[in-house]
Amino acid sequence: MAEAEEQETGSLEESTDESEEEESEEEPKLKYERLSNGVTEILQKDAASCMTVHDKFLALGTHYGKVYLLDVQGNITQKFDVVQVFGLYSGEEFHETFDCPIKIIAVHPHFVRSSCKQFVTGGKKLLLFERSWMNRWKSVVLHEGEGNIRSVKWRGHLIAWANNMGVKIFDIISKQRITNVPRDDISLRPDMYPCSLCWKDNVTLIIGWGTSVKICSVKERHASEMRDLPSRYVEIVSQFETEFYVSGLAPLCDQLVVLSYVKEISEKTEREYCARPRLDIIQPLSETCEEISSDALTVRGFQENECRDYHLEYSEGESLFYIVSPRDVVVAKERDQDDHIDWLLEKKKYEEALMAAEISQKNIKRHKILDIGLAYINHLVERGDYDIAARKCQKILGKNAALWEYEVYKFKEIGQLKAISPYLPRGDPVLKPLIYEMILHEFLESDYEGFATLIREWPGDLYNNSVIVQAVRDHLKKDSQNKTLLKTLAELYTYDKNYGNALEIYLTLRHKDVFQLIHKHNLFSSIKDKIVLLMDFDSEKAVDMLLDNEDKISIKKVVEELEDRPELQHVYLHKLFKRDHHKGQRYHEKQISLYAEYDRPNLLPFLRDSTHCPLEKALEICQQRNFVEETVYLLSRMGNSRSALKMIMEELHDVDKAIEFAKEQDDGELWEDLILYSIDKPPFITGLLNNIGTHVDPILLIHRIKEGMEIPNLRDSLVKILQDYNLQILLREGCKKILVADSLSLLKKMHRTQMKGVLVDEENICESCLSPVLPSDAAKPFSVVVFHCRHMFHKECLPMPSMNSAAQFCNICSAKNRGPGSAILEMKK
């Protein structure tokens, strides 16, 4: 509940937003303003007693019996001294002087229609006035005898009124009273605590009396239940008690606006006093209600007012509520989006205010998104949330360069340029170069890493490059070995297209970006004398780059540059050989020594793959270094297989390798030498027995074994020889069976093919005379020969068979060397 200080002259807005103890965190639903101008003038002399609202006009009744017609600003447009029905948009008027006081009046909702010229007045009686067909007004008593009628509400065809006993509803169509809702608390004086009525719609009536609220629904009675009863009846769908006395009711969508009269007990004197009236928004339930919002209103003279002095009127469709008291008229309106944003800003909820403005930017009138955003940034800065404030600048400032520059200088004043640097625009818009240089200098003075990051991330055209280069060089005078500054200087040189200086720094730092720099800016002419440095830095990347760009740096130039570094020379030539065995053939002789010195495992593959290396030179080097495997390969390649075999047996003592070598050479003399060398060495004999069965007759070896010689695993070796022999026999028999079966299958297939008939028709021609093979006259005799190759001839067009062979052959296929095709069919008639 939002309350105000108890002072008659206080601000109405303050009265709804301030609390006696602490500020409410709940946003109010309504806003308030006093109806001034003519109303102030009236209420200084008189006191308001009632009000009604229609269209854009207000009718205010006073205690002295005056009625004032006001506009929505409170200006007086007309004044009446008697009861009068007056057309706002026509010249129609009705004047009448009554013989008793009139407490209330209600006009037919469609009075402007000629068929609806009706109104009712309430006092001691409820009188219905209607115009007859002769334009005369006649009155009918609808009700009397239950005290004064102080409240009447007319909606559609239903009139609801309240007297001392309760609430009645009258149906104009059926001319029947359809219900009586008795009042609950009969202890309350009806003149001091009058009933409040309002129609929510054509069939829903809301009754407030004392502390009780009832919601009644008018329903149609079923035909079977009517008898002598009215066609309609009333059902109370909701009923609940309120904390204070009800002075007025009004609908608000599915909710209810309640004006309450409040009495409280003073803590000091313990006496009851009149407190400020409350305007509550509640959500009705079946037996209770839920409070949505509650505001205490400081109206003039509230300390002297009673429950009957307050009235609540509303303007349908506009959500305008008029709180009427004897000395004051207050207008309550639903808060719009501008009001919502005002409240958020007042509560310093800037982010929510900004979001609300963005969502409703088409509906807000008093606020601008940019102004809210700037206020949000200022709030964050004042609170010390510099990083958040800087981040919000991107969204709020957008492409407004002037505002960006203003905010940068503001951050500079508070020493927080670093906070805003990551979020500065870099493309659209672009700020003045001085802005970027100012931030770079700030980082250069205190944070080398941050400075380097900005140089990497910011395009080089944002600032004056020469100014920043000079500043970095000045700092390097104090710390010449600072790698971060050196690397950043190299990047600045790159932006300035001073690639030579940049490359030199990168090589000094051994930085990985050196190769990217060379490729990107085609700096191959600048690195011809820096090949050793590149190889020392990263030989793999350097070699790949050099080989990929042979047209820019020749193989000869690279080899010459690496002459004093043979290990690097070998890396380069080895990679070259791997790519192409022939490109570096002039260096193959040199490579033999390089492989022997730095990479022996790859020497033998090199000797095998190279067709350009001198074998004598290679053999000499391998023999000097006692490289047995390489020497064996070279001897074999030079045709000296017997020496190679001898070296395997004498140097390596490896019978498996010797057998493998003999298999590769497939030379009977080598096998003989191998047997002779192995005949007195039992382990060698075992190896031979296990491996030569498919290449040499094992009997030749077995016969040469001396009697009494112990041979390890001899039994297993002999068993293996027999198994290998049996396997060979089985293999041959299997192959023979497969061959016979395939031959038979193919023979049958050929026979079936040759047994098939061949279609001969008028379109076929003789391959010799090129005339149709069949005569045009089918009655004439003919003779046609058809070969398996599908060539056809007249028999008389074929040459006579020779004396040696009676078989005929296709002349065409014989001429093309496709093998003669024998005749498969001879047709005669």
DSSP 798-813: SPPPPSS----B-HHH
Last residue in a domain, options 756, 775, 799: 756
Q: Helix, strand, or coil here: 705?
A: coil
- Identify which has the larger pLDDT, 682 or 729: 729
- Identify which has the larger pLDDT, 697 or 314: 314
pLDDT in tens, 650-687: 777 777 777 777 777 766 667 776 666 666 666 676 66
**What is the spatial distance between Cα 105 and Cα 96, in angstroms, rounded to a whole number?**
13
Tell me whether residue 469 is in a domain.
no
Last residue in a domain, options 289, 311, 333: 333
- Which DSSP string corresponds to 28-65? PSEEEEE--THHHHHHHHS-EEEEEEETTEEEEEETTS
**What is the spatial distance between Cα 135 and Cα 748, in angstroms, rounded to a whole number?**
126
Provide the pLDDT confidence category of residue 696 given band limits of 50, 70 and 90.
Answer: low
Mean pLDDT, residues 7-16 taken together: 42
Tell me whether residue 40 is in a domain.
yes
β-pairing, 137-144 vs 151-155, is: unpaired
Provide the pLDDT confidence category of residue 551 given band limits of 50, 70 and 90.
Answer: confident
Per-residue model confidence (pLDDT) at position 19: 38
Tell me whether residue 50 is in a domain.
yes
Per-residue model confidence (pLDDT) at position 81: 60
Mean pLDDT, residues 486-504 taken together: 79
Give φ, ψ of 9 to 5 degrees: -95, 10
Provide the pLDDT confidence category of residue 110 given band limits of 50, 70 and 90.
Answer: confident
- Identify which has the larger pLDDT, 273 or 800: 273
**What is the spatial distance between Cα 772 and Cα 170, in angstroms, rounded to a whole number?**
117
Answer for the pair 130, 148: CB distance below 8 angstroms, yes or no: no
**What is the spatial distance between Cα 530 and Cα 528, in angstroms, rounded to a whole number?**
6
The total number of structural domains that make up the chain:
3
User: Domain range spanning residue 60?
Assistant: 35-83
Q: Helix, strand, or coil here: 783?
A: strand
pLDDT in tens, 124-140: 888 888 887 777 778 88
**What is the spatial distance between Cα 475 and Cα 113, in angstroms, rounded to a whole number?**
93
- Identify which has the larger pLDDT, 484 or 244: 244
Cβ-proximal residues to 771 (8 Å cutoff; 6+ apart), any chain: 765, 794
Last residue in a domain, options 333, 353, 376: 333
Tell me whether residue 297 is in a domain.
yes
pTM, 2 dp? 0.54
Query: Mean pLDDT over all residues of the chain?
Result: 80
Answer for the pair 44, 74: CB distance below 8 angstroms, yes or no: no
Tell me whether residue 744 is in a domain.
yes
Per-residue model confidence (pLDDT) at position 208: 94
Tell me whether residue 733 is in a domain.
yes
Provide the pLDDT confidence category of residue 54 given band limits of 50, 70 and 90.
Answer: low
Tell me whether residue 802 is in a domain.
no
Tell me whether residue 282 is in a domain.
yes
pLDDT at 823 over 50: no
- Which DSSP string corresponds to 362-386? TT-SS--HHHHHHHHHHHHHHHT-H
According to DSSP, residue 126 is labeled E
Answer for the pair 233, 221: CB distance below 8 angstroms, yes or no: yes
Per-residue model confidence (pLDDT) at position 18: 39
